[in-house]
């Protein structure tokens, strides 16, 4: 049975119905475009994620008039350093983003956004994309599903994750050029007043190459997880012992009860810093995780995914023939400087674990934490651009500039 009701050609074929794909399909369908929204899963479905939507994502949903069931809004963020000192990073409203984030389980969020796209006129197609009709160097004329169905589209949008099949089929993914990570998470009984990020030492005075988290959730079920950065090499990761270690620490600190243990654990790959693919080539546009648009410093992906999705959709609506060039330019303006600098900073920290451990201890120490908290919050969360004027915004902009210069030295420019 053809889930698209017999239709095989669309203006745009969107592969992946997560937040990125559904927002792209929503904006396109509202403009009158015919859109196929393709995903292999039956919805609602779960997804490995921290479930946290950052301030830019919150503002985007407001601007699109999209409401989602909200498990909780969060303003400030607590960061625990390797010495167990806690620093509270304040949330500031900006000129282009909200003054808070939201915590929504992906099972709920993704289903709600997909429903909005379908209500706007996008056509659901449940299928697994396995091939593409494409001549070498030419446009992708159609995506082909595992049962041989052709999904023809003038434009193809890849929203199918870090290992994007669309990017692979279009010859756009270079794994050796990507900045990789891996994360796992589960749900655990806990009442969490503020989102908590935990920076660990792998061994004394050598930083763990990632962080743990404990985020508020619905019905007393908090989201607990841990993720690592791998640099330029994607290798198998066994993170369950590290998650157990994190939970033991949270029990000792009183953040979870002594008998609390996470439920089923799921995991997924991360591709960060806009690395591994160009944003677009020919008639193929990549958005969200498929474009590697995950913050390399704190792992946020939902907000950048939705921002990139709207940018891609608007580029197609404006001029389909120039969509790739227009979208590439817009993504560079919106995220390029921050993502590139943050990626360079992450790689520098991975290569200098002792220095990174000392730095995190210093930033969370009582003498400094109150002085640098605002700047740290804005830069770490990628909020320097569009911030309301204040001293911490100036400091975040300076850090962003220094990280950009670090990236330039790394490229030999």
The first and second tokens of residue 287, run together, are 């958005």
Instruction: Tell me the average pLDDT across 270-299.
Output: 97
Per-residue pLDDT, 412: 60
- Listed in order, strand segments (DSSP E) in 59-176 are 73-74, 77-80, 86-89, 101-103, 123-126, 129-134, 140-145, 150-158
Model pLDDT, residue 71: 66
Alpha-carbon distance of 140 to 255, in angstroms, equals 50
CA angle 243, 247, 250 (to 5 degrees): 140
* pLDDT score, position 266: 96
Spatial distance between the Cα atoms of 247 and 269, rounded to a whole number of angstroms: 22
Residue 1's pLDDT is 34
Give residue-wise pLDDT tens across range 131-162. 999 988 889 999 999 999 999 999 999 999 99
Integer Cα distance of 188 and 251 in angstroms: 12
Q: Residues 6 or more apart from 141 whose CB is under 8 A from it?
A: 132, 133, 134, 152
Dist. CA 222–CA 118, nearest whole Å: 30
Average pLDDT value for residue range 83-95: 94
Q: Which 8-state DSSP code applies to residue 253? A: T
Q: Mean per-residue pLDDT for 73-87?
A: 90
The residue among 5 and 10 whose pLDDT is bigger is: 10
What domains sit in the chain, N to C, each tagged with a CATH number? Answer: 9-72+101-175+276-341 (3.50.50.60)
């Amino acid at each position: 049975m053809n889930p698209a009701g017999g239709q095989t050609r669309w203006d745009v074929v969107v592969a992946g119905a997560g937040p990125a794909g559904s927002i792209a399909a929503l904006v396109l369908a509202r403009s009158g475009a015919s859109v196929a929204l393709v995903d292999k899963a039956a919805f609602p479905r779960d997804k490995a994620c921290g479930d946290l939507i950052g301030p830019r994502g919150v503002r985007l949903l407001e601007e699109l008039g999209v409401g989602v069931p909200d498990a909780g809004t969060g303003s400030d963020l607590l960061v625990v350093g390797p010495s167990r000192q806690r620093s509270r990073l304040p949330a500031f409203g900006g000129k282009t983003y909200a003054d808070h984030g939201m915590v929504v389980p992906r099972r709920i969020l993704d289903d709600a956004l997909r429903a909005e796209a379908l209500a706007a006129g996008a056509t659901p197609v449940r299928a697994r994309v396995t091939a593409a009709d494409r001549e070498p160097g030419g446009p992708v004329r159609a995506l082909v599903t595992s049962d041989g169905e052709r999904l023809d589209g003038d434009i193809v949008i890849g929203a199918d994750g870090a290992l994007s099949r669309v990017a692979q089929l279009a010859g756009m993914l270079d794994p050796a050029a990507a900045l990789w990570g891996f994360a796992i998470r589960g749900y655990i009984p806990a009442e969490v007043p503020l989102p908590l990020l935990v920076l660990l030492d792998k061994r004394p005075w050598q930083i763990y190459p990632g962080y743990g988290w404990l985020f508020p959730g619905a019905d007393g079920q908090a989201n607990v997880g841990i993720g690592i950065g791998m640099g330029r090499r994607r290798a198998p990761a066994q993170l369950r012992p590290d998650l157990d270690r994190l939970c033991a620490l949270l029990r000792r600190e009183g953040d979870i009860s002594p008998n609390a243990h996470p439920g089923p654990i799921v995991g997924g790959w991360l591709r960060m810093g806009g690395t591994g693919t160009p944003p677009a080539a020919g008639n193929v546009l990549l958005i969200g995780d498929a474009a590697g648009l995950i913050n390399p410093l704190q792992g946020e992906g939902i907000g950048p995914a939705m921002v990139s999705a709207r940018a891609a959709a608007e580029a197609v609506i404006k001029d389909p023939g120039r969509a790739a060039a227009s979208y590439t330019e817009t993504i560079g303006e919106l995220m390029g400087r921050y993502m590139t600098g943050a990626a360079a900073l992450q790689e520098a920290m991975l290569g200098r674990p002792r220095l990174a451990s000392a730095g995190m201890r210093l930033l969370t120490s009582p003498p400094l934490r109150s002085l640098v908290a605002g700047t740290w919050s804005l830069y770490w969360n990628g909020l320097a651009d569009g911030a309301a004027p204040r001293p911490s915004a100036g400091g975040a902009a300076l850090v962003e500039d220094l990280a950009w210069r670090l990236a330039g030295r790394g490229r030999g420019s």
